[in-house]
Amino acid sequence: MQKLLKLAFLSHPTLVATTVVVSVLVAFIEGAGLALILPIIEGLGKPELVRPEHPFSEVVFRVLTPLGIPFSTTALVLVGLALFSFQSFLLFVKTVTTVKVRVALEAKMRTKLFASLMAAPISYFDSQHLGRFTNAITTETNRASTAVLQLLNALVAAMLISVYLATAIIISWQLSIVAVGLVGAIALVARQTGDLKQRGKRMTEANTALKTTTVEYLSAVRDVSAMGLEDHANKVFMRVSRGVAHELVAIERVIAGFRSVYEVAAVVIIATLLALAVLVLDIQTAAVVAFFILLFRLSPRLILLQSNLYQYVSAVPGYRELERLHAEAQTNWEPGQVHTKPAKLSDAIEFRKVTFSYDGLSNALDTIDLLVQQGTTVGIVGGSGAGKSTIVNLLLRFDDPTAGRVLVDGVDLREIDVYSWRSLIGFVGQEPFLFHESIAHNLSLANPTATNVDIQAAAKQAGAHASIQELPDGYATVLGDRGALLSGGLRQRLAIARALVRNPQVLLLDEATSNLDAHSQDAIQEAIHAMHGKRTVIIVAHRLSTIRACDVIVVLEKGRILETGTHESLLRKGGQYAKFYSAETGE
C-alpha cells in the first residue's frame, strides 16, 4: 500500500496532492452538511427561527449566527443545498484528478517496464515467453493502476466515514458505540482479503496464459493452418479464455457476497439500534431521526469502502508482477557487465581461449582462439551445432564467455559500454525483422539522419533498389506484419540495406544471404568486395560461394576451430572445408 501511494505521489505529485486536498474539502463539507441535519429536523414545520434543543444544535447555532445566517429551517435548508452543490462539484474534480492519476501512472509504469525489457540481455528472453511480457505491459499495468485508483477512493471513503462517525458520536455516543461494535463484528466475519489475494494471483496467471496462447498461435498461424490445427487452436484458446472468465467471476462473487451479507446485517443493526434508542436510552426524537439519517447515508459509504479495499487487494498482484519483471530484467545482468568505456575499433577483435556453455554441461565453444583484423573480411562455416551462432551472440554481447575473453583493441568487451559497441555493428540475421511501416522508414531506422540518397545507395548495394522501384508505392510501400507482403529474398536484401545505411565499422552477416538468388548474391558480393579495407566484415554462412573471397575462412566443428585459411589454401589442404566444398559443388 505504501509503495503504491509513494509511487503515485512521486510520479505525479501535483495531481495526487490535488486529489488529497479536494478529498479533505469534500469530507469537511460533508461534515458541515451533516451538522445541519439535527437542527433542520428540530425546526420541521417551523420556517421561523429555530430554537436549538440538542447540544449539537446549540453548537451549530453559535457557528452560523456570527456569519449573519438566520437560524431558521428555510435558511438551514438553503445552506445545506449550497454545501451539497459545492460538494458535488468537488467530487467531480476529485473523480477527474483521480482518473488522471490512474491513466498517467499506467502509462508511466507501462513505459518503464518496456524500457526495462529493452535493456535486458537477450539470454533473459530466451528463458521467458513473449506472452508474459505482453500480458504485463497490456493487462497487469492496467490492474496495477486500478489498485492505485481503488486505494485513493478508499482513502476518500475512509475520511467521509470518519466524519459520519464523529457526527454520530456527537448526536449519541451510546448508539454510536453499539453501531461501531456491530459493524466491526460483521466486517471481521465477512473479511475475505486472504481469498482475494489468491484470486488476484490466479487472475495474473490466467491473463498470462491468455496472452501467451494468443501470441503463440497468431505468430504461428501459417504453420497452424498448414497442419490443419485450427480446431485445436480454438479449443486451447477457449480453455484459457474460460480460465480468465472463471477468475473474474470468482473475484466478483467474493465482493458481491460481502455486499449481500452487509445489506442483510444492516437491517438487523438498524432494528437493534432503534429498539435501544426508544426502549432503553430514551433519546430525543429529533436526535434519533438525525442519527438514523446519518446511519442510512453511512451504510453505502461502508459498502463502497469495503468494495474499494477488496478491488484493491485483488488488483495488487498485477503490481507485484510488474515488480517481479523489473527485478528480473535489472538483476539479470551479472556484476561488472555494465560499463561506460566507449567502443572503438582500430586494430582487431580477438577471441582468446573463449569457452561458452549454455547449460553448464556441454560447451558450444571450447577454448577457441580467433583474430579478426580491422578492415578484413572473415568467413565462418561449419555444420549445425558447430558454434557459429554462439560466436555471433558473443560478438553482439547477447552472451558473455563462460571462460576466456573477447577483446576489442585489447580491451575486454565486458568493460565496454554495450550500446556504444553495438552502435559500431551492422547486423543482419537469417530471419530479419521488418516493421509494419514503409520501406523508407524501415531502412532509416538504422540511421535516422540518413537522406533519401543514402537510403537508395544502400538499397542499390544490397541489390534491392530495382525490386523496390517495381512496387506500386516504391520506397513508400508498407511492408505488412514482419514484411509478410515481400518475398523472403527481398526481405533479406532490405535487411542488408538497412545495415549498410548505418555505415557500420563492423558488418556482421549471420546466414544473411541464404535466401538470395544468384543475381542478388553477386550484387552483395560486389558490395562486400567494395568494403574491403574500409569495414570489418564477418560472414557466417552455409553457402560457401558467399565466403570464398574472404581474407580468412574459419571452419568450426563441435565448438572447436578445425581449420583457418583462404579458400584456395583450404582446398589444397583437403580437410573439412574441402569436403564441404565438394558436397556443395560436386567438384
Q: Hey, CA dihedral for 471, 474, 478, 479, is it positive or negative?
A: positive
Cα separation, 505 vs 345, whole angstroms:
8
Instruction: Return the bridge partners of 371, or none.
Output: 350
Cα separation, 531 vs 377, whole angstroms:
9
- Does pLDDT of 432 surpass 60? yes
- Does pLDDT of 399 surpass 90? no
- pLDDT at residue 189, rounded to an integer: 56
- The lowest-confidence range among 242-251, 479-488, 559-568 is 479-488
pLDDT band at 251; cut points 50, 70, 90: confident
- pLDDT at residue 487, rounded to an integer: 78
- pLDDT at residue 336, rounded to an integer: 42
pLDDT band at 565; cut points 50, 70, 90: very high
Closest CA to 445 of 453, 455, 430: 455
If residue 404 lies in a helix (H) or strand (E), which one and from where to where?
strand 403-408
Which backbone phi and psi does 337 adopt, to 5 degrees? Answer: -80, -30
Answer for the pair 354, 363: CB distance below 8 angstroms, yes or no.
no
In percent, how much of the chain has pLDDT > 90?
12
Cα separation, 313 vs 228, whole angstroms:
43
Mean predicted lDDT score pLDDT of the chain: 79
- pLDDT at residue 525, rounded to an integer: 77
Answer for the pair 387, 540: CB distance below 8 angstroms, yes or no.
no
pLDDT tens digit string along 25-38? 877 777 676 666 66
Within the chain, which residue ranges are assigned CATH 3.40.50.300? 348-585
Task: Tell me the Cα Rg of the chain.
Answer: 36
- pLDDT at residue 397, rounded to an integer: 87
pLDDT band at 368; cut points 50, 70, 90: very high
pLDDT band at 334; cut points 50, 70, 90: very low
Answer for the pair 550, 378: CB distance below 8 angstroms, yes or no.
yes
Cell of 233: 487452436
- Does pLDDT of 198 surpass 70? yes
- Does pLDDT of 258 surpass 90? no
What's this model's pTM, rounded to 2 decimal places?
A: 0.70
The most confident of 57-71, 272-286, 382-396, 509-523, by mean pLDDT: 382-396
Cα separation, 407 vs 394, whole angstroms:
11
- Does pLDDT of 404 surpass 90? yes
The most confident of 253-262, 303-312, 459-468, by mean pLDDT: 459-468
Q: Taking residues 183-198, what's their average pLDDT?
A: 62
Residue type for position 147: A
Cα angle value 440/539/570 (rounded, 5°): 155
Cα separation, 523 vs 367, whole angstroms:
36
Superfamily of chain region 2-329: ABC transporter type 1, transmembrane domain (1.20.1560.10)
- Does pLDDT of 208 surpass 50? yes
pLDDT band at 335; cut points 50, 70, 90: very low
- pLDDT at residue 262, rounded to an integer: 65
Compute CA 344 distance to the chain's CA centroid, rounded to the nearest angstrom: 34
Cα separation, 476 vs 469, whole angstroms:
10
Closest CA to 98 of 140, 138, 155: 155
- Does pLDDT of 293 surpass 60? yes
pLDDT band at 354; cut points 50, 70, 90: very high
Residue type for position 415: E
- Does pLDDT of 218 surpass 60? yes
Within the chain, which residue ranges are assigned CATH 1.20.1560.10? 2-329
Residue type for position 31: G
- Does pLDDT of 68 surpass 80? no
- pLDDT at residue 98, rounded to an integer: 82
If residue 352 lies in a helix (H) or strand (E), which one and from where to where?
strand 348-356
Cα separation, 492 vs 499, whole angstroms:
11
Cell of 223: 504453420
CA separation, residue 186 to residues 260, 261, 302, 525 (Å): 12, 8, 12, 81
Q: Hey, CA dihedral for 130, 136, 137, 138, is it positive or negative?
A: positive
pLDDT tens digit string along 98-135? 888 888 888 888 888 888 887 777 777 777 778 888 88
Q: Taking residues 197-224, what's their average pLDDT?
A: 77
- Does pLDDT of 557 surpass 60? yes
- The lowest-confidence range among 122-126, 435-439, 540-544, 577-581 is 122-126
CATH architecture of 348-585: 3-Layer(aba) Sandwich (3.40)
